[in-house]
Structure 1
Amino acid sequence: MKITKTLIVSAMLAASSASFAHGDKEHAKGAAPMKMEQKEWGIGGHSNAVKRTVEIRMTDNMRFTPDLIEVKQGETIKFVHANNGKVMHEFVLGTKKELDEHAALMKKFPNMEHDEPYMAHVAAGKKGEIIWNFNKVGEFDFACLLPGHYEAGMVGKIKVVAQ
């Protein structure tokens, strides 16, 4: 019996709320608007609400610079991700639990696509961006979940403090 990608995706979505990985494609520009969904770590932001821009460099030594960012509750941040490496990297916001689950899925399904407002998939030598509103206080994580990158320590923290 042949199992299609659609069937696999449907089964995985039913079993988990985690997002799926994808291959070497960048996120589609000009595609349908992304669904803005409240997450434990905030909600997608709008460009007219951006309070500041934070550039994050990604390198092939499997590190983000900076890897610790402090944000005030309610602040909308535009993250600009500069991939200074020679391989694809990504930036995914979430909780440690969500990132661990997503990383495990990426190992099983490395070419499955996803496109969420809290993710940027950036080709070597390119830039990507996301705009995110941190409307909840707490400590959250970000990581590159491409197979091997997360395990190598390509992670960071965002501390959201009360106003």
Structure 2
Amino acid sequence: MLIRLCAAAVLLSVSVASQASTGEHFAFGHPGDAAKATRTVEVTMGDMYFEPKSLNVKKGETVRFVLVNKGQLLHEFNLGDAAMHAAHQQEMLKMAASGMLTPTGMKHDMAGMDHGMAHGDGAMKHDDPNSMLVEPGKTAELTWTFADATGLEFACNIPGHYQAGMVGKVAISQ
């Protein structure tokens, strides 16, 4: 019985670590080098909207996203499909419930707090390479090299924001 539990724990940790490791290649691409970006796209984050509402990219293209939060609330730019966003929303809900996320920011002094989120080391943090939190009035950057994928979205997974319409489609062409 103990061997089965250990084997299950190892498989789970390998699976989860592969989903959250920095530098990992996702089905839809991987973190890119800003110096190699073929273009820059400014994304405005307002309270419950993104502008632009959709993006068109090419397979293999490296895009530098400049994320400008013009709203009064903390927002997130996260690349993924609907299933990834649903899972991440549950993580973000735990972060908000713990007090780590506030409506306008993130309490970094709580970053080592264990809350059951499986991020390799079990610590609560927001460090996925396909995601960026941006506080009100701030600007951040995320660079991504796209692979061929369908159903890709960019979204804000702060509790309630995705449901309020803070999500857009990414079309990837050949």
Could you say if the C-alpha distance between residues 109 and 15 of structure 1 is closer, same or farther in structure 2, counting changes exceeding 3 Å? farther
Structure 1: segments with no counterpart, 5+ residues: 1-9, 20-33
Distance 1:36 1:15 in 2: 15
Supply the distance in 2 between the matched residues of 1:42 and 1:82 (Cα, whole angstroms): 23
Residue 136 of structure 1 deviates from its aligned partner by: 2.0
Aligned mate of 1:83, from 69, 87, 103: 69
Give the match for residue 118 of structure 1.
130
Please state whether the residue corresponding to 2:151 is helix, strand or coil. Answer: strand
C-alpha contact 2:152 2:169 (8 A) present in aligned 1 = yes
Could you tell me which of 1, 23, 27 is aligned with 1:40? 27
Question: C-alpha offsets along residues 72-93 of structure 1, whole Å, 9 cap, x if unaligned?
Answer: 1100000001100111111010
Structure 1 residue 53 corresponds to structure 2 residue 40: yes
Task: Tell me which amino acid in the other structure corresponds to 1:118.
Answer: N
| Aligned counterparts of 1:77 and 1:105: Cα–Cα separation in 2 | 27
Deviation for aligned residue 1:36: 0.9
CA RMSD of aligned residues (A): 2.1
Q: Which has the larger share of helix? A: 2
Query: Where does residue 109 of structure 1 map in the other structure?
Result: 95
CA contact (8 A) 1:40 1:95 kept: no
Distance 2:15 2:49 in 1: 28
Q: CA deviation at 1:16?
A: 7.2
- After TM superposition, the score normalised by the length of structure 2 is 0.71
Identity %: 40
Shift of 1:150: 1.4
- Size of the aligned set, in residue pairs, is 136
TM-score (norm 1): 0.76
Among candidates 127, 146, 151, match of residue 134 of structure 1 = 146
CA shift in 2, pair 1:44/1:15, >3 Å: closer
Asked whether 1:98 is paired with 2:84, we answer: yes
Q: Where does structure 2 lack aligned partners over 5 or more consecutive residues?
A: 1-8, 101-123
Give the C-alpha shift of residue 115 in structure 1. 1.1
- Displacement of 1:122: 0.5
